[in-house]
Structure 1
Amino acid sequence: MRPPGGRGRAAVAAGGVAAGLGAAAALSWGGYDVPAALAAPTLVLDLAVGWSFVGTGLLAWSRHPDNRTGALMVVLGFAALGRYAVAVASDVGFAVGVLLGSLYLSVFVHLLVTFPTGRATTWPQRVTVTVGYLLSTPLDGFFLLLGATRGAPAGLPPNGLVIVPAPAGSPVLVDAVVQGVVLALCTAVLAIVAARWRRASTAERRAIGPGLLGGVLVVLALMAQRSAFVLAIHPDVRVGFTWAARTVLVVWPLALLFGLVRSRLDRSAVSRMIVELGAGPPGPERLRGVLAATLHDPSVAIAYWLPERGVFVDARGDPAAVEPPAPGRGVTYLERGGSRIAALTHDAALAGEPELVAAVAAGAGMALENERLHAEVRARLREVQASRARIVESADAARRRVERDLHDGAQQRLVNVALLLRMARGRLSAGPPGEVDALLGETVDELAGALEELRELARGIYPALLTDSGLGPALAALAERSSVPAVVTGAPPGRLPGALEHAAYFVVSEGLANAAKHAAAAEVRIDVRVTDGVLVVAIADDGVGGASLAGAGLRGLVDRVAAAGGRLRLASPAGGGTRLTAELPIAPAVPAARSEPDARRAPSPSP
């Protein structure tokens, strides 16, 4: 239900004023004989009820358009004024007044039970709201059809419009039953409100406290009034309870209005927050404590945004989950100078006060930016520590792999060569020449195999072609040896710093290995170019995607690229292939120191 615009609000307000004036006219000149001593307090009290609900409801409706509380308050105000139709001495006036006589109380039950959203979300709420409406217009319409007549014009308006002592005596059985049901309904309302209060958090209790307290007072006054009727208490006592119920009903929208005004007062506390932040020593816990006190939410948590990594971290630098928020929690993103700096995770009740949260964020912007920088440093430190641990682990694993490859490959071949040489030496003197030649030939084959295995092992540890010829030929050799068809679409023509070439080479090597093991790709394209002083290495395949930088192989590449001062990015949507991109800054070339010939050194002798 959308709130009315400017003209709509003016029309509703004008309608409320007209309804109040019409109620006053009906009571004063509707045809009944109402003494001024009774008419004046009745009009003052009921006009206050109707107009306060219409005015405050319009304000709440405009301020919180997402819930129905404001609309219900407006309806309650019009229903309270509309029941004055019974003061018009006519059949139509009597019928309309009877049908609207207790509707405003049913709307009140709906409003209180579903506060602050105005929506019934649980079965106790739905049942209570439904019973509340059934006890108003439908029940009054039923009694009206049974043959109720309007009061005589010479007396007071019917339906209890004017509060006067009723004749003493026991209530009619039907009235007693109806009032008993009303009392049971009020008890259910109190139970729902109590359960709502128990479930509410600290921030939520602060937001809904005035409204619930005022509503409970109204319910208690109504229960006292209806109990006095069922128990046939003296009429003067019942009149007192009735006036108390009407008076408290006037105060309730004022309590809601106080809740709205208090949020503005809370925003005025931002200046005190700024002074407090500047008065004490900085620190993440102190900043969080000041924000929590200003927002009246002790559960406030701050996550700082790291734009280079695209993640949120907490004050310690650890990754922090922000979305989706947990049930009952809300998230507000904070910006400074047009750039995101942090996110506040807070009680969901604060989502209805975006101006307050925004004011607090603006006031604490400098402190948040400083803590964000500290969190970024801590995150980098933790990343470096983790990277060092992974590098040590990777180096140990590489040494174990080399030891295993040497033991199982070249070492076994060399052992065989030693045995063959011993056998050949023993048969040189006694054995036939042909057998000795065969042993020596087998020895040569074993030595050749051992040499090839050592070359392959050395190529895996440190590619000789990269050192000798540069990055272009080394990438071409990698593409030729790849088990997945690979194409080099671009490579730097000249030489680059050695550390940069090595990092780029191993990025491509690991990318090809991952494509062969996991991607089920038909083709891999390798593109290495220098752009604006940055070596950009891109490996793209047409495989199944779904790769992650958290994998063992790619995690090692992250460390290798970071050690070269670069950044590794991965795009691998499911079913959309994988693209691995490394950006490696090229440091300015430093000329190598040349060794000048020593003039004191004796010249080499001529041949």
Structure 2
Amino acid sequence: MITAPAYRTAEHPRSLTPARVTVLLVAAALSLAMEFSGWIATPEADRPEAAWFTLHLLVPLAFLISAAVSWRIDPDSRLPPRLMVLFALAWVPQTFYAVIGGLGWLWPIVRGIDLSWALIAGIIVMLYPAGRITSRLERFVARTAVIASAVNLIAVLLLAQGSTTPCGAAPCAPNAYLVADAPWLFAFFDVGYRVVGTALMAMVAVRQLVQWMRGTTPSRTVAFLMPAALLAWIATLAVQTLSYAVDRTFDQVLSTISLIALATIPVAYVSGINHLHNLRARVADLMRITREGADRLVWEESLRRVLRDDSLEVYWWTDEDGRYERASGDVLPRDAGAAGADRSYLTVAAPGGRPLAVIRHDRVLTDNARLLDGVSSALRLSVDNGRLRSEVERTLAQVRESRLRIVEAAARAQRSVERDLHDGAQQRLVSLGLELRLIANAAASAGSAGLAEDLEIAIEELGQALRELRELAHGIHPSLLSQGGLSLAVPELAGRCPVPVDVEVQADGRLPELVESTAYFVVAEALANIAKHAQASRVWVRAWAAGGMLHLVVRDDGVGGVDPNGSGVMGMRDRVEAADGSLVLESERAHGTTIRAEIPLPPGTAV
């Protein structure tokens, strides 16, 4: 079974705290003090060249600067930058023995640890890029190197003689810890320590170089500088060991190359972790995918591109089958938890523990927990956004359908009221008017002039009421719209506007009832507002069907400045949007007003 790795999440401290700055400054001061004091204490004839001295001085500074950069890139980094600081303190120049050579209790201690810089540099190499020792071979090398360094320190303290150890131009003071006069035994431990150290580090260098050559693109990308640094560092150890074995006769060129090579180790380390940091930052590119949800093919390709792992595969959990599957249909093997030497698996689960996906990736990416945390978070966001997007789209579709049903129900109710008024009350009033006319004529014939006059007044009032009732019925749902469509109803509507209106309706045949009624009432509301507020001298109304849409434009030459949030405009917009259309208002002061509406036509509508 595959289990999700337990990655630590902690609040990051500030990259360069006052304590860290103090440590860096103190280490730099001590390193410079050893360099310059040794330079001054050494007779001028015995001093190394200024260029070589300067280069030797820059090596510990390169480690200290790299430590500061490492802390800034990765504030959680602990061991690697601390070892870089320790390297600067262990980088003891040989000229420094001219300063402490007279102290028989001090120089043996310094002499016993002055090669610990090689051990520290080797551990830094093994810590790259995960920041910790991961393999069994590396643990063996580290333990052996520590033991060999401890044996070397004991051998120096107990066997090194001041008379044979140079401290500048003169021998050192007698060793306060000397217990035996055995130069041959001391030489055995002294040279053997260097040989063992070189062999151990060569093992690590060869192993990592072979891994890099056989590695996948991500592993090569992460370790793109370290192979060169490893080879340079092995050259450094070889030069040091060989030079020491032949009476310490250093070739100036080789010695200079060795210093440059050693300084590349922290630079390569910082360059590598900076690349990993940038790789984590590229995970932010995945957030663009989350806006559209988790398209499985796009997600896998994007993840490959971001992590630069062409062999990466994403297996998605399917509730129906209860298993992980790729977009191509491949099923996650049951023994996936037993990953191979170069592959690893990352399980991504929802906050509640529900499985989402398994990512099969290059094992080198496992060393960067925060990178994988970012990938997991991006994938969870993508899935959540896809689910929320589906829910929102489903809700919006239900709302649109509900609005359409409401509009259609309102239109049916309007037609029903219009029919009731026309066939009921209106017909009764017409019949009543005819009866009153007959009675008025009869009264006039009978000589009842007063009664006939009163009846005429009643007939006139009844006619006015009938006209108002017809206007009301026409406003509820014009019968002309139902009978002839927009091409007849819009011109008739424009004829009742007090402002001259130019009408052009290009719609062959009838359009769907909802589309026609929506467009009609938009024109009616627009003309009513123009008559009341626009102070216009002319109005233009145009309607045409094209591209699956009914396009409607109402324009006037009035004063403009219409409030887009006014009740009239909001009413028109609500009607149009209820039909899944859109309405745009353009109304600059003194430049008239233009209303543009687009209402979609159902598929198959003949236009």
Shorter-normalised TM range: 0.3 to 0.5
Structure whose CA Rg is larger: 2
- Higher RCO structure, 1 or 2 (CA under 8 Å, sep 6+): 2
